[in-house]
Structure formats: C-alpha cells, structure tokens
C-alpha cells in the first residue's frame, strides 16, 4: 500500500499522519550485506497545503540490523530522521496523484535510502579485527628494521612491461 495523502482533506486543514509502513510497502532493499532493514518504518508527520505545493514535515524512524565494516560484529541501530521534510508539487514524477490522493512513497523511500549508513561502525572508535589471533607470536619479519623488510610489492616490481 503506498503512502498517500488525501488532497481534498488537505485543502481544508493540515493533516497529522502517524503510522507504520513495512519495508515491502516502501520497496526498501538496500542491497548491502552490511545493512538490513528491520520493518516497519514509523512515521509521525504533519502535511499542509502551501500554495500549489504540499509541505510535509515530521519524523521517520527505522530499525537497522548492521554488520560493522571494521570488525564484522553484528549490531542494531535506529535510523532517526527527526526533522524530515519535503515540499512536493502534486503530479511531479516523484509525487504522482491517484484520484484525490498524493503518493509520497517515492519521496519517503528515497530519503530513507539516502540516510542509510554506507560504512556502518559498531562504535566510532572500533579498531577492526585483531591483526593477530590472541596467543600467537608475531609473524617473522615484523621485528626487523624497516629497511630489511621485504616489500609487499616486490613480486610485482619483478614483472616486465
């Protein structure tokens, strides 16, 4: 079911919209192994007519199941768009009108997807995976002075062009 606002009701007064939308209704599929959307998207919005446009303001909230990009630890995070707003002109490509209702589904989807974390971290100071498993001795060559170490690029340097 799309996210609809009745334009006839909106012409008389502002509307308070509160409810939930499933990820399927918004077609939210970030196609990212590190971020999964946990439905539903909760919204608390106020819509009002502003000349020929419609102004919608309020809050969008969504739970996310993430995997830390550094240490691969799973964690949950809330995506909270507290001051979300959009101004739409009914009939635009991203705000089609169906009968007397304005469809805001594409606008909500777009702003939600753009707010998803691109590089989720369990905490800002995450140091990532440990460089060596606990209890193991450092690899040979790490204690040598820098000048004596073999470059990781040395094999590539041997290639002839």
Q: Check residue 150 and give its pLDDT.
A: 65
Rounded CA-CA distance 137/150 in Å is 19
Q: Could you tell me the strand order of the sheet in which 97-98 lies?
A: 4-6, 101-103, 97-98
* Token pair 């971290």 in the structure block, residue: 121
Instruction: Please name which of 3, 13, 8 lies closest in space to residue 100, comparing C-alpha atoms.
Output: 8
pLDDT, tens only, 81-129: 999 999 999 888 888 898 999 999 889 999 999 999 999 999 999 988 8
Enter the pTM of the model.
0.73
pLDDT in tens, 34-67: 999 988 999 999 999 988 899 999 999 999 999 9
| Contact of 105 with 3, CB cutoff 8 Å | yes
The first and second tokens of residue 117, run together, are 């974390």
- The confidence score (pLDDT) of residue 148 equals 55
Give the Cα separation of 87 and 114 in Å (integer): 17
Cα–Cα distance for residue pair 121/117, rounded to 1 Å: 9
Tokens of residue 72, six digits: 């691969």
3-class DSSP state for residue 154? helix
In this prediction, residue 136 has a pLDDT band, given cuts at 50, 70 and 90, of: low
Count the neighbouring beta carbons within 10 Å of the beta carbon of residue 114. 9
**SS3 state of residue 8:** helix
pLDDT at 78 over 70: yes
């Amino acid at each position: 079911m799309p996210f609809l606002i009745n334009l006839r009701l909106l012409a008389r007064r502002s509307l308070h919209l509160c409810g939930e939308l499933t990820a399927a209704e918004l077609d939210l599929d970030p196609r990212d192994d590190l971020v999964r959307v946990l439905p539903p998207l909760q919204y608390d919005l106020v819509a009002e007519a502003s000349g020929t446009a419609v102004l919608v303001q309020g809050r969008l909230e969504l739970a996310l199941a993430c995997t830390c990009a550094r240490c691969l630890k799973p964690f949950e995070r809330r995506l909270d768009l507290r001051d979300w707003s959009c101004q739409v002109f009914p009939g635009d490509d991203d705000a089609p009108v169906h009968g007397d209702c304005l469809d805001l589904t594409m606008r909500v989807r777009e702003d939600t997807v753009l707010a998803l974390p691109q590089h989720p971290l369990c905490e800002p100071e995450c140091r990532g995976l440990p460089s060596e498993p606990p209890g193991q001795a450092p690899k040979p060559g790490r204690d040598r002075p820098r000048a004596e170490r073999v470059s990781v690029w040395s094999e590539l340097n041997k290639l002839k062009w």
